[in-house]
Structure 1
Amino acid sequence: MAEPGIHFLDAHGPEGVRLYAIGDVHGRLDLLAAMHGQIEAEIAKDLVQDWRVIHLGDYVDRGPESKGVIDFLIAARERDPRHLMLAGNHDIGFLDFLRTPDPEGLFMRYGGVQTALSYGVSLTADASWFGKMETMRRGHQALIEAMPPGHVDFLRSLPFSLTFGDFFFCHAGIRPGIALDKQNPQDLIWIRDVFHDHTGLFPKIVVHGHTPVPEAEVMANRVNVDTLAWQSGMLTALVVDGADKRILEMAIKGA
């Protein structure tokens, strides 16, 4: 028998724990640091006793400071383990490139050049096929040497989902009809249409990013907080405090 679904309006977070779920960062350290500053100020002002800050993946690529974002997140997690990070497809794509460089892979095609630059490594290629492969080979080795070992460990440590109260957190979404604890990791970081088009309720509210929207998308069965931070200059989070839910936005002018 299928689990009964829950509507967003009826969903509750865990008793006594405030949740913050932050969308795709993509190298925008400025926005991430500003969002953390806002969250810390709220927690102090409201005398919040317990909390979790959940990052929904895609820390690297496209934006200018992927290395800085990973440094920031590692430090946040070491400072307080209530800072939680999930894997996104770009984070896994970064690991894939480090293991086996592919000129047509996700990393090289969608923002990995900017990620490499944040480590001081150029992956720009010559026009010729041979030049492209040779430049990528040399760049790949330089990137491996430039990356702190802790960064690879961090990327490898990222889980694909988390559950708190009536909320299920992942990067991209879930496959309808599959139990939450049976979801394929590939779906959790890649799925789009079959998930977005599903109008029925899920066993928990799915909080995700991965697919950019102009502003947070709050549906009966899911919440999308990917507001294309690297390009729009706006990073978005869902805040859950018991039965109360709200959207928190952090924008930097001129971004």
Structure 2
Amino acid sequence: MIRRLLSRIANRSETDFTDPEAPAFTHAATPAGVRLIAVGDIHGHLDLAHDLMARLEDEHATASGPTHLIFLGDYVDRGPASAQVIDWLAGFAPGWATPHFLRGNHEQCLIDILSGAAPDDMLATWLDYGGRETLSSYGLGSRVLYSGDLEEIRAAIRQAIPPHHRRFLEATLPCLRFGDYLFAHAGIRPGVPVETQSEEDLFWIREPFLSSSDDFGAVVVHGHTITPVPENRHNRIGIDTGVYRHGVLTAVVLEGTSRRFVAAQASGVEAGQPAHQVGG
């Protein structure tokens, strides 16, 4: 299984599965009077996360009932401020919404490393796919991060990451459902009931989920797979617009049967236009 997980870390192709002729999923609805907001993969970009929260809070004035704010995971890796993002989220208690924190594949990798469950090849791969940026945000220097001594690196990770950050990571949820919407980091496996989905699929899946036209029993709101613009399908909504690659962090606001997208963009980035690639 570890080998499969490692191959999925490396499979970072930027594919646009958007079908412009896909019909609107007009009958999916939130619970009566409830607004749901899902936030895509933050990947260590605290500045854009703050910007997006400010935009969403400004919109809250039009909400007539409770708002639930669902973060879809991948808070860490690749960006410059993973430690600061975790510190912010661990204490995040906005007066205008109830926050919920899902787990992404990048959090799962870090949890496995902290618990000792990750073998050496998984640790080495994680370092190359955003882990070094995360550890740098926790204050670890190049001498340790590029030493090649995995035992030294493991010990440094355990010492650098504070207990309340680890508790936050371990408390993240695999998925969450409200009304006709299911929230999961990566998606679900078609043909498998929602209640029996594996965590591996919830955190890692791409195909056959992305190309499936099945009715999943709920509209799946997910991140994980980068597309230049949000995907609004009849059976799923994808909102990972590649903050570390395109400079755009996206949220979807669901209220009744309506859907709309809100984005925070790095300076010089226009909505729907990929920025220069900033990460590998």
| TM-score relative to the length of structure 1 | 0.89
Map of 1:90 onto structure 2: 106
Q: In structure 2, list runs of 5 or more residues that go unmatched.
A: 1-23, 270-280
**Deviations for 1:66-103, whole angstroms, at most 9, x for unmatched residues?**
01111111111487881111000000101112223645
2: CA distance, partners of 1:34 / 1:81 = 16
Query: Is residue 2:27 matched to residue 1:13?
Result: no
Q: Distance in 2 between matches of 1:79 and 1:154?
A: 20
| 1:125 alignment counterpart | 146
CA contact 2:57–2:96 (8 Å) conserved in 1: no
The question of 1:179 aligning with 2:193 is answered yes
Partner of 2:3: none
Question: Partner letter of residue 206 of structure 1?
Answer: V
Residue 144 of structure 1 and its aligned partner are, at CA, apart by 1.4
Distance in 2 (CA, whole Å) between partners of 1:86 and 1:222 is: 17
**Percent of pairs with identical residues:** 38
Code of the residue aligned with 1:113 in structure 2: it is R
| CA apart distance, 1:201 | 1.6
**1:68 aligned residue (61, 84, 89):** 84
- Counterpart of 1:54 in structure 2 is 70
Aligned residue in 2 for 1:238:
252
Give the Cα separation in 1 of the matches to 2:129 and 2:120. 11
CA distance in 2, matches of 1:82, 1:173: 23
Kept after mapping to 2: 8 A contact 1:97/1:107: no
Shift of 1:48: 3.8
Look up the match of 2:181.
Answer: 167
For 2:50, the equivalent position in structure 1 comes to 33
- Equivalent residue letter for 2:73: G
| Letter in structure 2 aligned against 1:142 | A
Return the alpha-carbon distance in structure 1 between the equivalents of residues 249 and 94 of structure 2. Answer: 23
| 1:103 and 1:109 in contact (8 A); partners too | no
Q: Aligned partners of 1:47 and 1:90: how far apart in 2? A: 33
Q: Which moved more, 1:240-249 or 1:103-112?
A: 103-112
Aligned residues: 242
Within 1, Cα distance between the matches of 2:59 and 2:205? 33
Structure 1 segments unaligned to the other structure (5+ residues): 1-6, 127-131
Pairwise CA RMSD of aligned residues? 2.0
SS across alignment from 1:162: strand
**Does structure 1 residue 249 correspond to structure 2 residue 263?**
yes
User: Following the alignment from structure 1 to structure 2, what is the Cα–Cα distance between the partners of residues 24 and 223?
Assistant: 14
Preserved CA contact (<8 Å) 2:175 2:202: yes
